[in-house]
């Protein structure tokens, strides 16, 4: 089956900083650049949907204020740049963010909304999960369903998976999930959507992840027989 959608868990920025005697800021900056690289590699391989887990909800709550300030500052710089250059308009790609966006600084929320609006007419997507938890996503969906279906017993009995998916942050089910950093787990990433995703774990730290590594992941996918439980 043709590879149409990938998701990336870009793990290893801080370990890369320690290993190479870099500041956390420089390591994260390298990681941000790598995101652009992967989007370009995906386009070269006719992959229309790319998702990145930029920051987990647990990281948002557990990282130091200094580290979060560094991340948010880099996000501001990068979003200003792509808005000014109309980078994703040129790539004809709709950039979408999901997660607990309301926890982010107000000015960053505004910039995110501006980028989403600038690119909303395109079918190809780049989705970025920020302050995201898979458990929270499902819990949030359940709460919304409880409100919408309140007092409608017959309707709730007929709730389908397709209807449930409408309440999720992301409707995209990745064909392939890549996690870098030598960790072989998903850590709660898109638990509903990843039911039949193929999983590829790279030992490379995220800033080290190169085009050959990306192509190895695609080769792994192409050599895998997808059965979807059959």
- Please give the full DSSP string across the chain, using - where no structure is assigned: ----EEEEE---HHHHHHHTT--HHHHHHHHHHHHHHHHHHHHHTT--EEEEEEEEHHHHHHS-HHHHHHHHHHHHHHHHHHHHHTHHHHTTEEEEEESSGGGS-HHHHHHHHHHHHHTTT-SEEEEEEEEE-HHHHHHHHHHHHHHHTTT-HHHHHT--HHHHHTTSS-----SEEEE-SS----TTSSTTTTTT-EEEE-SS-GGG--HHHHHHHHHHHHTSPP-TT-
Catalytic residue selected from 13, 49, 59, 172: 59
Please say if 175 is a catalytic residue: no
Q: What whole-number distance in Å separates Cα of residue 141 and Cα of residue 100? A: 13
What dihedral angle (degrees, nearest 10) is formed by the CA atoms of 208, 209, 213, 218? 180
Please say if 37 is a catalytic residue: no
Catalytic residue selected from 11, 49, 172, 175: 11
Q: What whole-number distance in Å separates Cα of residue 220 and Cα of residue 230? A: 20
Q: Which residues are catalytic?
A: 11, 59
């Amino acid at each position: 089956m043709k590879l149409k959608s990938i998701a990336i868990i870009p793990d290893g920025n801080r370990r890369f900083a320690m290993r190479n005697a870099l500041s956390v800021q420089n390591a994260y900056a390298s990681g941000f650049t790598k995101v652009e690289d992967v989007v370009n590699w995906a386009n070269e391989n006719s992959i229309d949907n790319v998702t990145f887990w930029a920051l987990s909800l647990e990281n948002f709550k557990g990282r130091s204020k200094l580290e979060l300030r560094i991340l948010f500052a880099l996000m501001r710089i990068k979003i200003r740049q792509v808005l000014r250059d109309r980078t994703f308009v040129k790539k004809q790609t709709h950039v979408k963010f999901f997660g607990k966006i309301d926890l982010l600084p107000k000015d960053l929320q505004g910039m995110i909304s501006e980028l989403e609006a600038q690119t909303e007419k395109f079918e190809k997507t780049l989705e970025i999960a920020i302050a995201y938890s898979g458990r929270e996503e499902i819990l949030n969906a359940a709460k919304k369903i409880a409100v919408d279906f309140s007092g409608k017993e017959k309707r709730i009995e007929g709730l389908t998976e397709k209807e449930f998916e409408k309440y999720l942050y992301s409707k995209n089910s990745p064909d392939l999930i890549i996690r870098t950093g030598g960790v072989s787990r998903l850590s709660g990433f898109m638990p509903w959507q990843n039911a039949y995703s193929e999983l590829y774990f790279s030992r490379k730290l995220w800033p080290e992840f190169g085009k050959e590594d990306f192509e190895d992941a695609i080769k792994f996918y192409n050599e895998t027989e997808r059965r979807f439980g059959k």
